[in-house]
């Protein structure tokens, strides 16, 4: 088996493996995109819609650590860990959709390299991993936004698709194309400016590729760090037959993660090897194979006790500086949160994946912007001037992979209070100008109407100036869905605004 993966029959067989790997990569990326596009209100997918988050052990481990909860679906990450035990970081080289995209992103190869990056930079990913795990143990998931799967999903769901949708919907594409794309690409989600930050972060990851192929995977990816640690005791690993090697360096040049060290007789740093098999493919003498070589690899990253302590204290300092630990974090929020979630559930369970924002039919769920979000960066919150929480929808709780947003039955969701509307009488048209308006009351989805023209409720035509009806919010009925704020015809800031409900 070990010999079978790369045998000695020569280039033809290597080429076969190359195509096989490329096929697997494309398939995995297509499945990732399919699941993303198919995640829509009340839709079903032929695989779990959050498959990649389930397979991602980093999101699973940290969410479970932070919330002290067992999350059975996320335990699927064990498969990836077992895969890594068998074939090193094959996840990175074969399955990771971000890795595949980075493979297709232009980059420089070793030969042309001018900038020398010391190899200890590779410890960056372990440091990030340590900080993420450490802060998770303290109960904060803030830094999970660095996870590669969440990073890619978020960028597509919160920036690329809404942007594309807005572009296409306003350019008058032919009906058949519109019908084809409707739902998957074209939907009612508005484009939300602050998500540019999400796109920038993604762009930086891509641009770094210009410095080194898979720069992200080599130096930064915390998931790569986790898999690299496990990959050190992997079963199937890179092996160079010293009798055949002619020291031509082709493998070292071809290696996308520069895992092969010419100075070490072309041995691969197994924590960096993504099992892409390119080295074996380019080797003119078929000196390279992947075989059972079950022994502990040379420790490139040796977390001795001192190092561990250094890493841990760095992590603690980072946690404190970033105000990401709940020790410091505030529990009172200025955000309207999705129904079924709370500040604490989001702090300890939200992996910032963006599934809720993707599925939201109106696009009211938007990632909390960097400014003011502190430890809550890119957690879901409701932009109620932009859109509203649809009275007929409970999808965010259905798609949340971690239960940060609890799945609610539609009947319960309709009664879940997420905020309360408040009228600004200095801006409200009937209150301020004495001319008729009642859009907020018209829109209110609560069956008994949480906005009334009589202070005490009811349907009377309460008199104001000139006999114009003036709206009142009935606090005991308002659920904070925000549709009144969305549709308020006052230009600029709405004359009726939803404020966060006090947390129970």
Partner 1 sequence: MEISRREFIHRMMTLGFSTAAATALFPLAACSKETAPLPISPNAPPSTTAPSPTPTLTTPAVTDGLAVVRGKSPSAITEAAVKALGGIERFVKPGNTVIIKPNICVAYHTYEYAATTNPEVISTLVRLCRGAGAQKVSVMDQPFGGTAEQAYLRSGIQEAVRAAGGEMVIMSRAGFKETNIPEGKDIKKWMVYNDALEADVLINVPIAKHHSLARLTLSMKNLMGLVLDRPQFHFNLPQRVADLASLLRPELTVIDAVRILTRNGPTGGSLDDVKMMNTVIAGTDFVAMDAYAATLFGLTGADIPVVRAAAGMGLGMMDLSKVKITEISV
Closest distance to partner 1 from the beta carbon of 113 (Å)? 49
Residue 437 CB, shortest distance to partner 1, in Å, is 6
The closest alpha carbon to 485, from 387, 380, 382, belongs to: 387
DSSP state of 404: S
Regarding 466 and contact with partner 1 (CB under 8 A), the answer is no
Residue among 54, 49, 153, 69 nearest 404 (CA): 69
Could you say whether residue 457 binds partner 1 (CB under 8 A)? no
The CA distance from 100 to 209, in Å, is: 12
Select 171 or 304, whichever has its Cβ closest to partner 1: 171
Reference 351, options 56, 123, 110, 82; nearest CA is: 56
What's the CA gap between 370 and 195, in Å, rounded?
A: 9
Q: Does 226 bind partner 1 (CB under 8 A)?
A: no
Shortest distance in whole angstroms from residue 350 CB to partner 1: 25
Nearer to partner 1 among residue 355 and residue 441 (C-beta): 441
Angle value at C-alpha 415, between 409 and 421, nearest 5 degrees: 135
* Nearer to partner 1 among residue 16 and residue 415 (C-beta): 415
**Out of 106, 118, 447, 456, the residue judged to bind partner 1 by CB under 8 A:** 447
Should residue 252 be labelled a site residue for partner 1 when binding is judged by CB under 8 A? no
- State the distance between the two ends of the chain, measured CA to CA, in whole angstroms: 58
Calculate helix-pair angle for 222-231, 77-87, nearest 10 degrees: 50
Read off φ and ψ for residue 82, nearest 5 degrees.
-65, -40
Kindly identify the residues of this chain, within the stretch 409-438, that bind partner 1 according to CB under 8 A: 429, 435-438
Question: Among 278, 380, 469, 495, which residue sits at the site for partner 1 (rule: CB under 8 A)?
Answer: 469
**Contact region for partner 1 (CB under 8 A) — 65-73, 116-124, 138-146, 186-194?**
186-194
Bridge partners of 472? 452
Q: Report helix, strand or coil for 250.
A: helix
From the list 113, 242, 330, 442, which residue makes contact with partner 1 (rule: CB under 8 A)?
442
Q: How far is the CB of 189 from partner 1 (least distance, A)?
A: 10
Q: Which is nearer to partner 1, 52 or 192 (CB)?
A: 192
Residue 92 or 496: the one with the smaller Cβ distance to partner 1 is: 496
d(CA 306, CA 490): 62
Subset of 254-283 contacting partner 1 (CB under 8 A): none
Q: Which residues pair with 381 in a beta bridge?
A: 366
To partner 1, the closest distance from the beta carbon of 454 in angstroms equals: 11
Length of the chain counted residue by residue:
504
Give, as ranges, the residues between 20 and 79 that touch partner 1 (CB under 8 A): 41-42
Give exposure, 258-291, as e/b (b: 16+ Cβ within 10 Å). bbbbeeeebbbbbbbbbbbbbbbbbbeebbbbbb
Nearer to partner 1 (CB atom), residue 118 or residue 491: 491
Residue 485 engages partner 1 in binding (rule: CB under 8 A): no
Distance CA 340, CA 413 (A): 8
Residues 350-389 that bind partner 1 (CB under 8 A): 361-362, 388
The contact set with partner 1 (CB under 8 A) reads 41-42, 169-173, 178-179, 182-183, 186-188, 361-362, 388, 390-393, 429, 435-439, 441-449, 453, 459, 469, 483, 487-489
């Amino acid at each position: 088996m070990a010999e079978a993966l790369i045998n000695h029959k020569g280039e033809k067989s290597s080429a076969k493996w190359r195509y096989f790997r490329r096929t697997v990569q494309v398939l995995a990326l297509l499945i990732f995109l399919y699941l993303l596009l198919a995640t829509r209100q009340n839709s079903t997918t032929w695989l779990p819609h959050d498959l990649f988050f389930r397979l991602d052990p980093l999101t699973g481990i940290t969410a479970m650590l932070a919330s002290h909860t067992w999350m059975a679906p996320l335990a699927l990450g064990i498969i990836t860990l077992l895969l890594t035990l068998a074939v090193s970081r094959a996840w990175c080289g074969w399955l990771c959709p971000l890795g595949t995209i980075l493979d297709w992103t232009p980059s420089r190869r070793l030969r042309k390299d001018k900038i020398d990056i010391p190899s200890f930079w590779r410890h960056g990913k372990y440091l990030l991993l340590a900080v993420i795990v450490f802060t998770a143990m303290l109960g904060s998931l803030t830094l999970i936004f660095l996870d590669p799967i969440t990073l890619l999903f978020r960028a597509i769901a919160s920036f690329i698709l809404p942007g594309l949708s807005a572009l296409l919907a306003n350019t008058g594409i032919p009906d058949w194309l519109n019908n084809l794309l409707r739902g998957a690409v074209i939907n009612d989600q508005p484009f939300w400016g602050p998500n540019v930050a999400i796109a920038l972060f993604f762009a930086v990851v891509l641009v770094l590729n210009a410095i080194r192929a898979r720069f992200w995977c080599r130096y930064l990816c915390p998931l790569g760090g986790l898999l690299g640690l496990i990959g050190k005791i992997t079963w199937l690993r890179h092996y160079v037959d010293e009798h055949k090697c002619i020291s031509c360096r082709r493998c070292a040049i071809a290696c996308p993660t520069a895992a092969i060290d010419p100075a070490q007789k072309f041995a691969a740093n197994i924590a960096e090897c993504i099992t892409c098999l390119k080295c074996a493919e380019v080797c003119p003498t078929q000196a390279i194979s992947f075989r059972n070589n079950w022994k502990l690899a040379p420790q490139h990253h040796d977390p001795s006790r001192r190092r561990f302590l250094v890493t841990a204290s760095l992590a603690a300092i980072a946690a404190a500086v970033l105000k990401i630990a709940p020790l410091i974090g505030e529990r009172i929020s200025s955000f309207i949160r999705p129904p079924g979630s709370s500040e604490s559930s989001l702090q300890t369970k939200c992996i910032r994946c963006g599934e809720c924002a993707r599925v939201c039919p109106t696009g009211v769920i938007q990632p909390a912007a960097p400014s003011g979000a502190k430890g809550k960066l890119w957690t879901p919150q409701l932009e109620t001037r932009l859109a509203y929480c649809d009275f007929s929808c409970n999808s965010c709780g259905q798609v949340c992979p971690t239960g940060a947003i609890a799945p609610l039955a539609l009947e319960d969701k309709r009664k879940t209070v997420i905020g309360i509307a408040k009228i600004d009488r200095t801006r409200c048209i009937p209150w301020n100008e004495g001319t008729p308006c009642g859009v907020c009351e018209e829109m209110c989805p609560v069956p008994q109407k949480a906005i009334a023209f009589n202070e005490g409720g009811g349907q009377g035509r309460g008199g104001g100036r000139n006999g114009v009806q003036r709206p009142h919010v009935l606090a005991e009925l308002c659920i904070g869905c925000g549709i009144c704020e969305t549709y308020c015809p006052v230009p600029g800031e709405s004359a009726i605004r939803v404020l966060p409900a006090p947390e129970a």
